[in-house]
């Protein structure tokens, strides 16, 4: 149930986040540092479930309940991973500012390749032939998309800006593909019992330091002074400008909390798979709401991506079935031995 809940939370953030962020840019928003700040700036929301968990522990336990479970090791690890997440936020926000959502989402699907590779190196994730097939297909999908990526370049945008956005988004995909296995590795190396409450605390620390990194960028770029001016010229109006900012901050917290929740409940590889498998939904919503072009290259790339997802999940299904059969076989042998 916890895994299902986190998958739902991740789904909301993974589809809503890119759409809201793109909405900020296409209606007149131009501040990249502000947009990347919004991706983690809603971290105080994490205090709500933490407070609920604390109240529950107080009522359940007769002894004095701890408010935080983070150890110094987890705090420092969360801080380092948070700064990396802040860098990733900037790369992704810059990419979204230059690319249609349908394009940036397809590029982000390559994150599965990076997540799988780093999971293999860092947490010794075992690969099957189906996993390798999925990785190859997603790599080819990204290449197909990149061959004629310039075809969906927004009006008034130079080729240099477009391709910079393309490679910045690819960099964001690679970096977050590294962060996910590192979170799993941190859990394994911690000598503390990992609970879901601790997972939320860890994500809150990561978001806090990511926000601090982005805040420095905003201060240097003078984004705070520009917000009131930008609000007055926003196409949807001043009040809706602030509404877009607030909902961006909230929905992106769903993404990060869901991602680390899936890692806690399963693995970093499954978290990467879930992020990628939501691609068709994000694609469809981008085309429906923003009337983005859906070229033949995007169609081929999407088909290859879906093929990769089916391949991966079929491999997982077969592996689980073989494991169950092995367990049943051993159980039957043990029962037969006890009867004799």
Contacts of 230 (CB under 8 A, 6+ apart): 28, 29, 30, 31, 241
pLDDT of residue 246: 95
DSSP state, residue 329: H
Q: What is the pLDDT of residues 56-106, one digit of tens each?
A: 888 887 667 777 888 899 999 999 999 999 999 999 999 888 888 777 877
pLDDT of residue 226: 93
Whole-prediction pTM value?
Answer: 0.81
In a domain, 147, yes or no: yes
Give the dihedral sign, CA 307/312/315/321.
negative
* C-alpha triplet 137, 142, 144: angle, nearest 5°: 90
In a domain, 336, yes or no: no
| Ranges of the chain with pLDDT below 70 | 62-63, 142, 145-153, 268, 280, 292, 294-295, 298, 330-340
pLDDT of residue 300: 79
The pair phi, psi for residue 82, each rounded to 5°, is -65, -40
Determine the straight-line distance between the first and last CA of the chain, rounded to whole angstroms: 40
Domain count, the chain: 1
List the one residue out of 95, 100, 91, 93 whose CA is nearest residue 151.
100
CA–CA dist 13, 1 (Å, integer): 19
In a domain, 58, yes or no: yes
CA atoms lying within 13 Å on the CB side of residue 47: 4
DSSP state, residue 66: P
In a domain, 331, yes or no: no
In a domain, 46, yes or no: yes
DSSP state, residue 195: -
In a domain, 230, yes or no: yes
Q: The tokens 């991740």 sit on which residue?
A: 10
In a domain, 339, yes or no: no
pLDDT of residue 62: 65
Identify the domain containing residue 286 by its residue range.
Answer: 1-325
In a domain, 242, yes or no: yes
14 in Cβ contact with 176 (< 8 Å): no
């Amino acid at each position: 149930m916890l895994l299902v809940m986190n998958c739902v939370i991740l789904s909301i953030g993974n589809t809503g986040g890119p759409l809201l962020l793109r909405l900020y840019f296409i209606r007149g928003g131009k501040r990249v540092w502000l947009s990347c700040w919004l991706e983690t700036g809603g971290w105080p929301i994490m205090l709500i479930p933490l407070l609920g968990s604390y109240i529950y522990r107080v009522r359940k336990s007769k002894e004095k309940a701890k408010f935080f479970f983070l150890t110094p090791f987890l705090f420092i690890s969360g801080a380092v991973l948070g700064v990396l997440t802040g860098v990733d936020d900037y790369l992704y926000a810059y990419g979204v500012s230059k690319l249609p959502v349908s394009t940036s989402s397809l590029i982000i699907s390559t994150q599965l390749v990076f997540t799988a590779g780093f999971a293999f190196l860092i947490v010794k994730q075992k690969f099957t032939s189906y996993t390798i097939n999925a990785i190859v297909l997603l790599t080819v999908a990204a290449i197909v998309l990149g061959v004629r990526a310039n075809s969906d370049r927004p009006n008034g945008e130079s080729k240099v800006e477009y391709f910079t956005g393309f490679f910045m988004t690819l960099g964001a995909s690679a970096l977050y593909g590294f962060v996910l296995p590192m979170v799993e590795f941190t859990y394994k190396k911690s000598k503390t019992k990992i609970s879901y409450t601790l997972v939320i605390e860890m994500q809150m620390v990561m978001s806090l330091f990511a926000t601090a990194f982005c805040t420095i960028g905003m201060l240097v770029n003078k984004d705070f002074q520009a917000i009131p001016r930008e609000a007055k010229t926003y196409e949807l109006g001043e009040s809706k400008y602030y509404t877009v900012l607030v909902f961006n901050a909230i929905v992106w917290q769903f993404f990060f909390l869901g991602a680390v929740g899936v890692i806690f409940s399963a693995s970093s590889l499954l978290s990467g798979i879930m992020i990628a498998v939501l691609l068709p939904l994000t694609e469809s919503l981008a085309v429906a709401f923003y009337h983005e072009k859906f070229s033949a290259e995007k169609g081929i790339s999407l088909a290859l991506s879906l093929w990769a997802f089916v391949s991966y999940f079929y491999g997982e299904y077969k592996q689980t079935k073989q494991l169950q059969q092995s367990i049943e076989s051993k159980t039957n042998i043990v029962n037969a031995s006890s009867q004799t």
